[in-house]
Amino acid sequence: MKPSSPARRRWALAATTLVAGSLALAGCSGSASSDSSDGTVSMSLATSWIPMVQFAGTYEADSNGYYADEGLDVTIIAGGSEVDPTATVAAGDAEIGMSNADAVARANESGADLVIFAAAFQKSPLGILSTSEDPLTTPEDLVGKTIGVPSGDEAIHQTLLETNGIDESSVTSVPVSFDIAPLTSGEVDGQYAFYTEQAVALEQTGDPGAFLFLADYGQDVYANVYYATRDTVENNPELIENFLRAEIKGWQDAVADPAGAADLAVNVYGKDTGLDIEEQTLSMQRQIELLSTDETEEYGLLYLTDDGIQRNIDSITGLGITADESLFDASFLEDVYDGSSSL
């Protein structure tokens, strides 16, 4: 179901909001500011991980000039294991961030006031990877098995079992990293992994494997969501809309040409990270399954529907994290698409 619009606060602010918002933020490191020579607005985008095809839409928007077309000069701040993009945005060091919806909700619990306004991955790529020889395709298949659980995913694992009526004592869990060696060596029967990363690595060994998506069993959380502080959302809506328009066009290009998107990630934006072109191309192809859904076919890429928002709220609160409708604002997408499903 398409979302109904909140109050159209941006129309009342349209004449003054970009200038006022830029001035209000100018004192913060990394904050949007207008170049007096040509009116270009400088801003920063904090991604959740190192440069890779996961952020293909952003790279396409930048390289194809879509940001520039919208009057934006965007600095892309790469994430990593020691970087929390929600903290970067909350501190005012970037206007917009990318992360998972549950991570944004958790940041708000800790005092941030962030609002999600778009979601690239309509379905989370997180799940349990197993081999074709012993596929695990439902939560019931985990009974009597040994499952590798990376540090930080223990609560997710416990919630999966509880939600699906599986006795925790019937499943042996052991700590692992996101390397697939424990799976291929037979140390574990399955392990938590990403459909777009570790599942690709297993496929490259010649085993297509099996994948149990958490989203299919009670943990339906948006991934690669875009968010900003509530202050930015309310007082600088034109910045959000201009950014979204460019970002959507970038993702449209990435979906239309996955090989080209992978090449851009490997040879331009991630040229110093040692990415493998075959792996990144396979990853991008898998991402399309998560980016393009029946809902995005109807409304457009990155869309937030009422049904999707409610599924996320239910999933996030199921993880013991506070979340309600105030975490999301779908009206920017509605304005940008203006009744169409593509730009």
CATH code where residue 64 lies: 3.40.190.10
Compute the distance between CA of residue 133 and CA of residue 190 in angstroms, rounded to an integer. 11
| 233 and 262 fall within a common domain | yes
Q: What is the structure's pLDDT at 34?
A: 56
| 18 and 114 fall within a common domain | yes
Q: Is residue 101 part of a domain?
A: yes
Amino acid at 89: V
Domain total of the chain: 2
pLDDT, tens only, 189-198: 999 999 999 9
For residue 255, how far is the Cα from the chain centroid? 15
The last residue of one of the domains, among 185, 217, 249, is: 217
| 86 and 179 fall within a common domain | no
The last residue of one of the domains, among 217, 249, 277, is: 217
| 30 and 110 fall within a common domain | yes
Q: Is residue 94 part of a domain?
A: yes
Compute the distance between CA of residue 61 and CA of residue 74 in angstroms, rounded to an integer. 10
pLDDT, tens only, 152-211: 899 999 999 999 999 999 999 999 998 999 999 999 999 999 999 999 999 999 999 999
| 118 and 134 fall within a common domain | no
Average pLDDT over residues 102-114: 98
| 244 and 304 fall within a common domain | yes
Q: Are 195 and 283 in contact (CB under 8 A)?
A: no
Q: Is residue 310 part of a domain?
A: yes
Give the domain extent around 317. 9-124+221-337
Q: What is the structure's pLDDT at 113?
A: 98
Q: Is residue 4 part of a domain?
A: no
| 145 and 194 fall within a common domain | yes
| 226 and 209 fall within a common domain | no
| 174 and 292 fall within a common domain | no
In the block, which residue shows the tokens 């779908």? 330
| 232 and 164 fall within a common domain | no
Q: Is residue 272 part of a domain?
A: yes
pLDDT at 274 over 60: yes
Q: Is residue 207 part of a domain?
A: yes
Beta bridge partners of 130: 210
Query: pLDDT-derived band of residue 13, with 50, 70 and 90 as boundaries?
Result: very low
Q: Is residue 72 part of a domain?
A: yes
| 110 and 154 fall within a common domain | no
Q: Are 192 and 149 in contact (CB under 8 A)?
A: yes
Q: Is residue 342 part of a domain?
A: no
The last residue of one of the domains, among 217, 247, 282, is: 217
pLDDT at 118 over 60: yes
Q: What is the structure's pLDDT at 38?
A: 79
pLDDT, tens only, 290-339: 999 999 999 999 999 999 999 999 999 999 999 999 999 999 999 999 99
pLDDT at 14 over 50: no
Q: What is the structure's pLDDT at 1?
A: 56
Q: What is the structure's pLDDT at 36?
A: 47
Q: What is the structure's pLDDT at 35?
A: 58
| 109 and 18 fall within a common domain | yes
